[in-house]
Every structure is written in structure tokens, then in C-alpha cells.
Amino acid sequence: MTIRNRLTATLLGLSLTAAPLAAGAADFINVLTGGTSGVYYPMGVALSKIYTEALPDAKVQVQSTKASVENLNLLQQGKGEIGFSLGDSVKLAVEGDADAGFAEPLDKLRGIAAIYPNYIQIVASAESGIKTLEDLKGKSVSVGAPKSGTELNARAILEAAGMSYDDLGKVEYLPFAESVELMKNRQLDATLQSAGLGVASLKDLSTSIPITVVAIPQEIATELGAPYVAGEIPAGTYGGQDEAVSTVAVINFLVSSDAVSEDTAYTMTKSLFENVDELKAAHAAANDIDVQKALQGMPVPVHPGAQKYYDEVGVKAE
């Protein structure tokens, strides 16, 4: 082999060796959200813009999913870097509750932040005559996508009220927007949606047909216990809702995995709290985001990168 050929072979070998390193040099941030008519999605889009600025070498994208349960399973599988989830779903994921959609305990999940509460919002068409939880018996109700965070909430609420799906006339397992379309067409009596206040799907519904926001009594929250708390849907949240309505709330979390580097998790956490106004512009639910409450009720170990940020700003677990 000539010197020239040897040199060419050596350079080719070096380029082949270096190629995988170069390809993997930039971070990839996949933000796992929910349906496009919910709160997770617009919040995730805003978060992706924040991360694009904060992590200029990373490729950032937003993925619409079936929300909580799917997001947690995707994080466990390494198919996402950060995702939104309801607190009760996170707790069940760690425990490995098969009925909730977790075939085994998810041990790779790491917490980034508690963000805002989801309010369990049961809305019925005025025409259905539904005014109380008891009135749901024999009616057609959508409880969210199968084994979604919303659907887990629906099971919990009904059980605490001494009811089950068997008491309902018909159970539909549909995302928010599809549930609303059926109600507009008089093919569904009520929908249960677990989301931030003022969720787009229910605003759309309330401007299309007369509705009733069904109260969930405070004793239901007491019966359920943590991570559920008593909440309230303020008057005027939806068209035709003239009075405040009691309900139950559960905290939402941003969750990552142990596959995400400490530096990346630190930057994701820091840039989140330094750009809360951008999240507020995306959805009013972000008004409840407070760094001082970021570790409140965290159901999984905090990611070391997130913990580094909390140590810097003096936030401690409660």
C-alpha cells in the first residue's frame, strides 16, 4: 500500500469513527403533551419555544399524546425528555399499577417540577337534566381516552361517590374535543375533563350549547386524600356558568427521566421558571406556577439537575 493510500485509509477510518460522535453531539428534547384541545399541548408548545432559546444546540419538538399515562410510559422507554402528567398518574406509575396502564413499576422517572392544578370538570348539556353526580346514573358520559390521566380521575371520583361505570347508561372513552363534538350533536349527555381552568374544549362547548357545570362536593376530596385536594371553578369560567362550582383538583407535574443529563435538566428547570410569563401567555392555567411550590407533593425522585436549580434559589421539599 502506498503512503497516499495509507493516509486515505487512515482518514477514512477516523471519519467513520467520529461520525457517530458528531451525530450524537446535540441534545434532542421531545416535549410530551396531550391532545391539542387540552392545556398540556399549548403549554408544551410554549415550553418548546423556551427550550429552543435556552438550548440552542438541541433539536426541540412537541409531541401530541394521550397525555399522562402515555407520557410516563414514553419517558420510561427513553422516547421523550420531558412530559406533563397528573400527580396521581405519576404515583401509580411508580407503584406499577397495571389497571392504570403501567405493566410494571417505572423506575427511570425523575421529577422536574410541580406546576399547576388540574381541575376535574364535569360538564353536562342543560338538556340532559344532569345537575349532580347522582344524576349521572343512566346517562351517557365521556370519561377521557382509555387509561389516560383523565380516565383515572373519573374512576376515582365515581368510586369516592359510591358509583362506578356500571351505574352509567353508556361510557365513552374519548379525548376532549371528540367528547365536545358528540355533546354538540346530542349524542352524549356529559363529559368529565381533567384540565386547567378555561380549557379550550369546554369553552367551545359552552358557546355552542347551554351547559351545566356539575359540582363535586368537598367531601369527595376528603375521601380521596392526596394527591387530590378540594378546588373551585370560579363563576364565569365558562359561558352560562353564573356561580362558582366546587370540585376536586390534582397537581400536574413536569417529569423527565434518568437518561437526561444533569446539565440539560438544570437548564430545562431554570429556563422554565425564568420564562413563566411566556407560559401564562399560552394558557391561564400557568398563572398557578410558583417556584416555591415546585417540589410540593413530588411523587418521584427529583432529577439531580432540577435539584441543583432548587438549591440555588433556596426551594426545599415540603
pTM comes to 0.79
Answer yes or no: are the C-beta atoms of 111 and 78 closer than 8 Å: no
Q: What is the mean pLDDT of the chain?
A: 91
180 and 303 in a common domain: no
In degrees and rounded to multiples of 5, residue 142 shows phi and psi of: -95, 130
Looking at residue 302, the DSSP 8-state letter turns out to be B
291 found inside a domain? yes
192 and 230 in a common domain: yes
**Which secondary structure element, helix H or strand E, spans residue 86, and what is its range?**
strand 82-86
pLDDT at position 8: 41
The residue segments making up the domain with residue 201 are 118-250
At residue 169 the predicted structure's pLDDT band, cuts being 50, 70 and 90, is very high
1 found inside a domain? no
Question: Tens digit of pLDDT for each residue in 185-213?
Answer: 999 999 999 988 999 999 999 999 999 99
243 and 144 in a common domain: yes
Cell 392545556 sits on residue: 39
Question: Tens digit of pLDDT for each residue in 33-83?
Answer: 998 888 899 999 999 999 999 999 999 999 999 999 999 999 999 999 999
Angle, CA 124 vertex, CA 119 and CA 126 arms, to 5°: 135
Residue where one domain finishes, among candidates 214, 232, 250? 250
233 and 132 in a common domain: yes
Q: Three-state DSSP class for 251? A: strand
At residue 149 the predicted structure's pLDDT band, cuts being 50, 70 and 90, is confident
Residue where one domain finishes, among candidates 219, 250, 281? 250
125 and 80 in a common domain: no
- Rg of the chain, C-alpha, whole Å: 22
10 found inside a domain? no
257 and 112 in a common domain: yes
Rounded CA separation 33/17 (Å) = 36
Rounded CA separation 310/294 (Å) = 9
Region 105-114: mean pLDDT is 98
pLDDT at position 19: 33
Rounded CA separation 36/63 (Å) = 10
200 found inside a domain? yes
Rounded percentage of the chain residues whose pLDDT exceeds 70: 92
CA-wise closest residue to 289 among 117, 149, 121? 117
Task: Supply 305's cell numbers.
Answer: 439537575
The tally of domains found in the chain comes to 2
Residue where one domain finishes, among candidates 250, 273, 290? 250
297 found inside a domain? yes
